[in-house]
Amino acid sequence: MAGRSSSLAAAEGKAPAPRRTRNKPEERHKEFVRKAVELFAEIGFEAGTRELAQRLGVTQPLLYRYFPSKDDLIAAVYQEIYVNRWKPQWREGLLDESRPIRERIVAFYEDYAGTIFTPEWIRIYLFAGLRGVDINRRYAATVEEQILRPITLATRTSFGLGGGEPPTPEEVELFWTLQGGIFYYGVREIVYRFPMPVDRATMIRNAVDTFLTGVGPVLKRLAERSDAPA
């Protein structure tokens, strides 16, 4: 109870007992990124470094010992979510010709939705897109290359249409609408918090059924048109 009059800013009676536990830098780094993912998903990238520090039970300048700037922290968040959570077996499963095409596509979208339908993934993805960084362009390019082109070829094959040539842009775009339709289910559920009376698995099954039933004739028409030039 003595002195302690040095600073009026001490906010009398609300000193939350600084921790001063000394952790290994590597663990701290991970801890910071993990909580940053959580915070940015909630508030967006304009979330303050002070808020993040408070949630970590740490002072704000300490963050700058681990990340030179806030943008570096954000870059680490991107890496964590969009690089580390990508599964190479998605592509492999889609190419596994021992299973029927419908089964492969449904299984993929169920696993994919299970991975990305979280507030961290979807909200930060949209925040990043609106911010104008190239994360989304690059991610979409990966989706097209690793998922949609394989799906397109596998579907073509399963309909007995020529499997040699690479997919045309028009074909790929067709599969983008399926991808977008399913992704937007997640946006409505997680971002808009729209009431979703139909569960994910049912939605995926119905969407894939509708798509696979209808895509045959359209693919055939596209193939015929490219076969017979003017």
Partner DNA sequence: TTATTTAATTATCGTTCGATAAATAACCTC
Partner DNA sequence: GAGGTTATTTATCGAACGATAATTAAATAA
> By the criterion CB under 8 A, which residues form the site for its own copies?
44, 46, 123, 126-127, 129-130, 136-137, 140-141, 169-170, 173-174, 176-185, 187-188, 191-194, 197-198, 202-203, 206-207, 209-218, 222
Binding of DNA by 55 (CB under 7 A): no
Size of the site for DNA (CB under 7 A): 31
Query: For 44-168, where are the alpha helices, taking DSSP H only?
Result: 49-56, 60-66, 70-78, 89-95, 101-116, 119-131, 135-143, 149-158
Q: Determine, following the binding rule CB under 7 A, whether residue 34 of this chain makes contact with DNA.
A: no
* Type of residue found at 81: I
Nearest distance from C-beta of residue 185 to its own copies, angstroms: 6
Question: Given the rule CB under 7 A, which of 40-48, 80-88, 98-106, 184-192 is the region that contacts DNA?
Answer: 40-48
What one-character DSSP code corresponds to residue 129? Answer: H
C-alpha distance across the termini of the chain, in Å: 93
Verify binding: residue 60, DNA, rule CB under 7 A. Answer: yes
> In the set 4, 14, 20, 193, which binds DNA (CB under 7 A)?
20
Exactly one of 30, 42, 50, 217 binds DNA (CB under 7 A); that residue is 50
Say which amino acid occupies 222. L
Q: How far is the CB of 1 from its own copies (least distance, A)?
A: 44
Residue 106 interacting with DNA (CB under 7 A)? no
Could you say whether residue 64 binds DNA (CB under 7 A)?
yes
1 CB burial (10 A radius; 0-12, 13-18, 19+): exposed
Q: Is the dihedral of CA 151, 153, 158, 161 positive or negative?
A: positive
Q: Is 35 a residue that touches DNA (CB under 7 A)?
A: no
Question: Which of its own copies, DNA, none does 220 bind, CB closer than 5 to 8 A by kind?
Answer: none
Are 179 and 143 in contact by the 8 Å Cβ rule? The answer is yes
188 vs 97: CA distance, rounded Å: 33
The least distance separating its own copies from the CB of residue 184, rounded to whole angstroms, comes to 3
CB atoms within 10 A of CB 118: 16
